Amino acid sequence: MNNITILSILLLTGLASCHKFEDENQQYAQSNYRRGPKEQTIFQEALLFVSQFWDSHAAQVICSFVLSVYAFNYFIGRRMNNTMAVTWLDSVRQVIADNFSVVGQITKVQTPDQVEFEENTSTEYSVLCTGRENFHYCLIRLTLRSRQELMTMLATSLCKRYAKQRDCVWIEIPIERGDKAVHSEILIVDKRELKDINTNMPHIEKILYPIDTVATEKNLQVMGENVESVEAIMRDQRVSSFVRNFNDLIIAIHITDQRLYNKFDYVLKAQFRLAGRDDKSSERWNKLMKDVLYLADTLSKVKVSYKTQQDTLERRKKLLNSGDQKKTK
């Protein structure tokens, strides 16, 4: 149901209520009016005036009020989203400027002030960064709640389970490697999000299984196709610290060689909550962004044995073709 339909229902309901109200009050006012001018009070005269006014202008007043509220919410909501996006970008401008030579249309980035969102709507803001070793590109995208949509905000507030919206940061990095890819898929995910991820990407449930690592947190699940590739990444102290320190912001970190997101052979795609337990400090997001880039650099150099990769490909093919979810190492 779109916003126009909902607004129409509200207007019709309001009109029906107002007509009932005005009919009752008009009858009351007219009954008092018959008693003569001497018996009328100022209050009764005012009531009669209100009834007559509603009789002539009820629809216009209701429409004006609803549209005013909708317009006010639109401009306030859009401004809130813009402020959130700019504040977040301010916290990572220096990291982007230090690590990428090309940001959007700027071919030679020299200062953080040159880092700006390339495209944006009222709910999405993005910036494309290139010109860094080991990366084809880095696409950063913010998706924010539709605060400018009054009916959407009401629906998501009243029915959070069925109309889910949240403020997220997406980071997509296709990784350059001499051998193109490590044939092993890895997922670090908030356990509460696993059901939705399995629904959107059914192969995850078929080929990945939980693997305990030094960085495993209570709210996170580390999954992979083999132990060797997961340990090769997670035994790096900085990577494991990154997962532990930002476990409240991590929604999912997906490392795949199956070309799920684009045409590239090896891709890191991460999703983070924009707000966390300590989101007031820009230093936290600054550190998170540095750690994501470090993780991508680690993936560009990590080594997994040829035998493990071949065994993984054979196992993957068997499970995807047969639908067998048997967990094997």
**How do the pLDDT tens digits run along the chain, 329 residues long?**
445 444 454 444 444 444 444 454 455 445 544 444 544 577 666 777 667 766 777 777 778 777 887 787 778 888 888 888 999 999 999 999 999 999 988 778 888 888 989 878 888 999 999 999 999 999 999 999 887 777 766 666 666 555 567 899 999 999 998 888 889 999 999 999 998 888 899 889 899 999 987 666 788 999 999 999 999 999 999 999 999 999 999 999 999 999 999 999 999 999 999 875 555 668 899 999 999 999 999 999 999 999 999 999 999 999 988 754 444 44
How many other C-beta atoms lie within 10 A of the C-beta of residue 30? Answer: 11
DSSP code per residue over 181-229? --S--EEEEEGGGHHHHHHH-THHHHH-EE---TT--TTEEEEES-HHH
154 shares its domain with 37:
no
Structure tokens at 257: 């060689």
d(CA 203, CA 323): 9
159 shares its domain with 289:
yes
Which residue among 73, 100, 119 closes a domain?
73
Burial of 12 (0-12, 13-18, 19+ CB in 10 A): exposed
pLDDT at 45: 67
- Predicted TM-score (pTM) of the model is 0.77
Contact 198, 209 (CB under 8 A): no
d(CA 16, CA 13): 5
Structure tokens at 47: 């009531």
Does 329 map to a domain?
no
Mark out the alpha helices in 34-105 (DSSP H runs): 42-99
Does 152 map to a domain?
yes
272 shares its domain with 224:
yes
244 shares its domain with 164:
yes
Does 328 map to a domain?
no
Does 327 map to a domain?
no
pLDDT at 24: 47
In 3D space, the residue among 149, 166, 142 whose CA is nearest the CA of residue 73 turns out to be 149
Bridge partners of 139? Answer: 128, 172
299 shares its domain with 316:
yes
User: 3-state DSSP: the chain helix, strand, coil percent, rounded to 5?
Assistant: 55, 15, 30
Contact 150, 73 (CB under 8 A): yes
pLDDT at 7: 46
pLDDT at 18: 47
90 shares its domain with 69:
no
DSSP code per residue over 144-168? ---TT-HHHHHHHHH-TTTS----E
Which domain does 287 fall in, by range?
82-322
221 shares its domain with 241:
yes
187: left (phi over 0), alpha (psi -120 to 50) or beta: beta
92 shares its domain with 66:
no
Does 239 map to a domain?
yes
27 shares its domain with 122:
no
| Residue 154 main-chain phi, psi, to 5 deg | -65, -45
Structure-token match 């044995």, residue found: 305
Which residue among 73, 101, 126 closes a domain?
73
How many independent structural domains does the chain possess? Answer: 2
How many other C-beta atoms lie within 10 A of the C-beta of residue 15? Answer: 14
Contact 188, 208 (CB under 8 A): no
d(CA 316, CA 225): 8
pLDDT at 286: 93
Which residue among 18, 43, 73 closes a domain?
73
Does 126 map to a domain?
yes
In 3D space, the residue among 320, 315, 173 whose CA is nearest the CA of residue 254 turns out to be 173
64 shares its domain with 160:
no
116 shares its domain with 253:
yes
103 shares its domain with 45:
no
pLDDT at 277: 54
